[in-house]
Structure 1
Amino acid sequence: MFPDSQSRSAALFDRARAVQPGANTRHMITFAPYVIYAERGNGCRVTDVDGNVYIDWVNNFSTNIHGYGYPPIVEAIKAQAERMLCCILPTEAEIALSEIIVERWPGIDQVRFTNSGTEAVMVAVKAARAITGRSKIAKTEGGYHGQFDLVEASFLPTPANWGPEDRPAAPPLGHGTPQSLLDEAVIVPFNAVDATLARLEEEKDALAAVIIDPIPARLGFAPASQAYLTALRRFCTENGIVLIFDEVFCGRAGYHGAQGRLGVLPDLTALGKIIGGGLPIGAVGGTKEAMAIFDNLAGPLKMSHSGTFTGNPMSMVAGIAAMRGLTPEVFARLEAQGESLRRGLMERMAAFGLDMRANGLASMTSLQFFSEPADNYREFHNRSGDAYLDRMRRLHRDMLNEGLLMATRGLMVGSTAMTDADIDETLARAEIALQAFAQREAA
């Protein structure tokens, strides 16, 4: 049972404290009183250093869409490692992965690779500024776009600092963010068409880009409405502003990504996670017109973009193998399993009298401490309640002790390694965890 002070994970955690601040290098994976350390993965299961086996519903925050040990990825990595790990010269694999992305995302004509989703967003923002000659960036309240201080503005705001509902403030996430940088961020309310357009109208002459995650994980996968996305698309087109979709996470929404599913196309798209087959990767794609800013063969260079490991062959071959395994039929199966998971969880939540829901779409699920869907960040925050994180950590522990690994904020994402039997097993284990949680809540 977790926690166990005599476990090897607890000992490793203590050892890490001496050489890593907070005994971690990723804040979002930590939980008290120590973090479980992984030993190996197989299919949809991960085994920790103490021999405990968990059905993995985090999948490294979505990167492992095929789970662990997916043969085509393993074989591609082995073969590439024998040829070379990296090289200053490009490889044919870089072209092949680009072709796959261009074929699938309808708003992408050309691609450039980066090393992470955060880096993809940074490059997209730089490109928008170079294209427009303007500096300000608009984003939705509560939106997450990676570890980039400009777009961290208004990530996880609270009533103490989020400002008026129709004109949200731009509070920093961490200490030390310059006010001059925050002044470049324009925050708009998610899914509020009139208020958003009014705020954008005020700043249109200074705006380089509007960036949005159309199916944001931090809002429990509540999608942007068709009306909202259409309004953003129209406004950006009319005012020469670059519309950026952050599909680093929600690119798994379907065979043609979130934009294909929702039917609105951006100028630039930031990608990551699933396109790398579990290896570090990011990408910026877009229309030929927008991507021309990177073309150093057509005249004087307008914007520089490079990187030591950009387009590295290991990530390229892993990405090719991963994407080829994601056919329309596979996406349909992932979605059906996601719907079964959410339906089964909500039946059990109701049976134990929990005011909760399992929200989401496709293979993306979010456990929430309210029963009606939230439409924006403030609804999500207020309905979750002040004790949200503490309650979710308790539920996380109950799930962990039943052999289910989910994110500490209630996120669950599926993988192609999961069978219908694995969904049934997950629900059986979750039933025990939810019952224990409900009993504790009632005490």
Structure 2
Amino acid sequence: MNLTKSSTLYENIRKFVPGGVHSNSRFRQPHPIYFKEANGAYIKDVDDNSYLDIIMGNGAVILGHNNEEFNERMQERLKNGIITGLETELSIETAKKFLSFVTTADQVKFTNTGTEAVMHAMLIARTYTGKQDIAVVEGAYNGWHDAVNVSTWPNLDLAGDASEPNSLPGSLGLKEDVVKSTVVIPFNDLDATERIFAAHHERLAALIIEPTMIDVGYIPGSKEYLQGLKDLCSKYEIILVFDELLTGFRESKGGLQVRHGVAPDLSTFGKAISNGYPMAAVAGKAEIMGKSAPGPGSCSFVGTYNGHQVSLAASLSFMELYEELNVLEVLDRRTDMLIKKFNDSAKEKNISVMMRGKGGHFHWYFSDKAPNNYRDAAQSNKEAYQKFTHALSEQGVYCSGNYLLHHAISYAHKDAELEKLLKSMDEALRTLV
């Protein structure tokens, strides 16, 4: 595959942009790929190589790239000339539509990114409880700020006992005292969580958790597990926050909380909420959300770009089409088909690998058993995964070489694209036989 222009662009841009990328997760060896066009399920790079995209903006682009009907509806809503810094009827319409989906929440406030939404949720939780510290799940990614970027894809040699994980910085540059103050729990282990909460609950304002861990592939929490966490948080007066930035609108119309009927105190949404435009949401119980209202006794919730009109137009247009096109039903059906056919093919070839997912999200684990938590996932065969995804890339499938990440299809991945993906995955599996 010819990547001459990408190589040249990298040599130029790295003088002005560290590493040549604005998000480090986009860096690839020996250099990033630079793109110029996206339509439907496909993207084209500056060297005119075409790829079947199965990353789709980390799952954000749920309708597909450059969807014509989406674009038309969105542009129609922007004719009034208002861009940012003002409240409009569009913000009311979008909030009402959002809450008609996320029926477990009473109120919502919009912001711009997942990290911002999580920061706002933590501030609300601290204000409501009067407590300061946060609990996170080992291996999960809930944003890049100090209090939650803890034990994010940690080195298992340093992680400590599985039932009481160490608090490790997820990046250089984090404040050491903040990292140490964050409590880490194992996923899918209620007994260990109760022991940890019993020891630390007096200082814990919130627990933030992906109800399905997707930033390490696809590891679901059961309804019973999530209900158990809710009960523990109620017992110890800890705000339960569901990070539904990835599960929202893909696990169900209103997120995993609606599908399982387990209502958290607060939740964060993003990614697919606006089909790839920068927008996120904090939603939850009115009593708790009220702590973000203007006035005495409240915390700050400000931002010039909060409720940005372009993103609101994108979100409302997306939610309308999501319902009209039965997007979730289509994605569930296509994902189930891909998983069954891939797993059957792997079994025939006697390769220890499984594909897991739902609602368009999926990932491959090169292991004999389905992972139950981060440590299980980290034990899967990294070398086999990388050989497999390298073979996929050689066949024009744009995927991640990181064995602890995730993939996604969109509504634009129709029969022809699914057949291409199935054929490419089968060929990639043959390289491992």
TM band (smaller chain): over 0.9
Contact 2:59 2:407 in 1 (8 A): no
Matched, 1:282 2:284: no
SS of structure 1 residue aligned to 2:276 = coil
The residue aligned with 1:151 is 148
The residue aligned with 1:50 is 47
Write out aligned runs for 1:156-167 (5 A).
156-167=153-164
Matched, 1:419 2:414: yes
1:145 and 1:197 map into 2 onto residues whose CA distance is 22
1:76 and 1:256 map into 2 onto residues whose CA distance is 22
Write out aligned runs for 1:120-199 (5 A).
120-199=117-196
SS of structure 2 residue aligned to 1:131 = helix
> 1:25 is matched with which residue: 22, 26, 32?
22
Q: Which moved more, 1:47-56 or 1:219-228?
A: 219-228
1:81 and 1:103 map into 2 onto residues whose CA distance is 23
SS of structure 2 residue aligned to 1:204 = helix
1:154 and 1:54 map into 2 onto residues whose CA distance is 34
Contact 1:162 1:171 in 2 (8 A): yes
SS of structure 1 residue aligned to 2:135 = strand
The residue aligned with 2:299 is 303
1:399-439 per-residue CA deviation (whole Å, 9 max, x = no partner) reads 12212112233522111112133212210122223323x15
SS of structure 2 residue aligned to 1:113 = strand
> 1:291 is matched with which residue: 289, 292, 295?
289
The residue aligned with 2:83 is 86
The residue aligned with 1:428 is 423
2:387 and 2:12 map into 1 onto residues whose CA distance is 25
Q: Which moved more, 1:35-44 or 1:425-434?
A: 425-434
2:49 and 2:61 map into 1 onto residues whose CA distance is 20
Contact 2:163 2:192 in 1 (8 A): yes
2:394 and 2:17 map into 1 onto residues whose CA distance is 27
The residue aligned with 2:197 is 200
1:47-103 per-residue CA deviation (whole Å, 9 max, x = no partner) reads 111222111111100110001121232113433454325232112111111112111
Q: Which amino acid aligns with 2:251?
A: A
Q: Which moved more, 1:327-336 or 1:53-62?
A: 327-336
Contact 1:73 1:277 in 2 (8 A): no
1:292 and 1:116 map into 2 onto residues whose CA distance is 21
2:103 and 2:163 map into 1 onto residues whose CA distance is 32
Query: What TM-score comes out, normalization by structure 1 length?
Result: 0.93
1:90 and 1:303 map into 2 onto residues whose CA distance is 20
The residue aligned with 1:325 is 321
SS of structure 2 residue aligned to 1:283 = strand
Contact 2:140 2:215 in 1 (8 A): yes
Contact 1:130 1:302 in 2 (8 A): yes
SS of structure 2 residue aligned to 1:194 = helix
Q: Which amino acid aligns with 1:266?
A: P
Contact 1:277 1:321 in 2 (8 A): no
2:227 and 2:216 map into 1 onto residues whose CA distance is 20
Q: Which moved more, 1:347-356 or 1:87-96?
A: 347-356
Q: Which amino acid aligns with 1:313?
A: Q
The residue aligned with 2:312 is 316
Unaligned runs of 5+ in 2: none
The residue aligned with 2:402 is 409
How many residues are aligned here?
429
SS of structure 1 residue aligned to 2:296 = coil
Unaligned runs of 5+ in 1: none
Structure 1 residues 82, 380: CA separation in 2 closer, same or farther (over 3 Å shift)?
A: same
1:8 and 1:176 map into 2 onto residues whose CA distance is 34
| Structure 1 residue 301: Cα displacement | 4.6
Matched, 1:334 2:327: no
SS of structure 1 residue aligned to 2:318 = helix
SS of structure 1 residue aligned to 2:322 = coil
2:89 and 2:310 map into 1 onto residues whose CA distance is 12
Contact 1:106 1:259 in 2 (8 A): no
| Structure 1 residue 218: Cα displacement | 2.8
Contact 2:164 2:192 in 1 (8 A): yes
1:197 and 1:300 map into 2 onto residues whose CA distance is 35
Structure 1 residues 358, 309: CA separation in 2 closer, same or farther (over 3 Å shift)?
A: same
Contact 1:365 1:412 in 2 (8 A): yes
Query: What TM-score comes out, normalization by structure 2 length?
Result: 0.95
| Structure 1 residue 354: Cα displacement | 2.4
SS of structure 1 residue aligned to 2:208 = strand
| Structure 1 residue 238: Cα displacement | 2.3
| Structure 1 residue 120: Cα displacement | 0.3
Identity fraction in percent: 29
Q: Which moved more, 1:156-165 or 1:204-213?
A: 156-165
Moved over 6 A (4+): none
1:85 and 1:396 map into 2 onto residues whose CA distance is 44
Contact 1:106 1:265 in 2 (8 A): no
1:336-382 per-residue CA deviation (whole Å, 9 max, x = no partner) reads 10011112222233344422111122211011111310101111112
2:296 and 2:419 map into 1 onto residues whose CA distance is 59
Structure 1 residues 218, 63: CA separation in 2 closer, same or farther (over 3 Å shift)?
A: closer
The residue aligned with 1:263 is 261
Contact 1:245 1:268 in 2 (8 A): yes
SS of structure 2 residue aligned to 1:83 = coil
Matched, 1:395 2:384: no
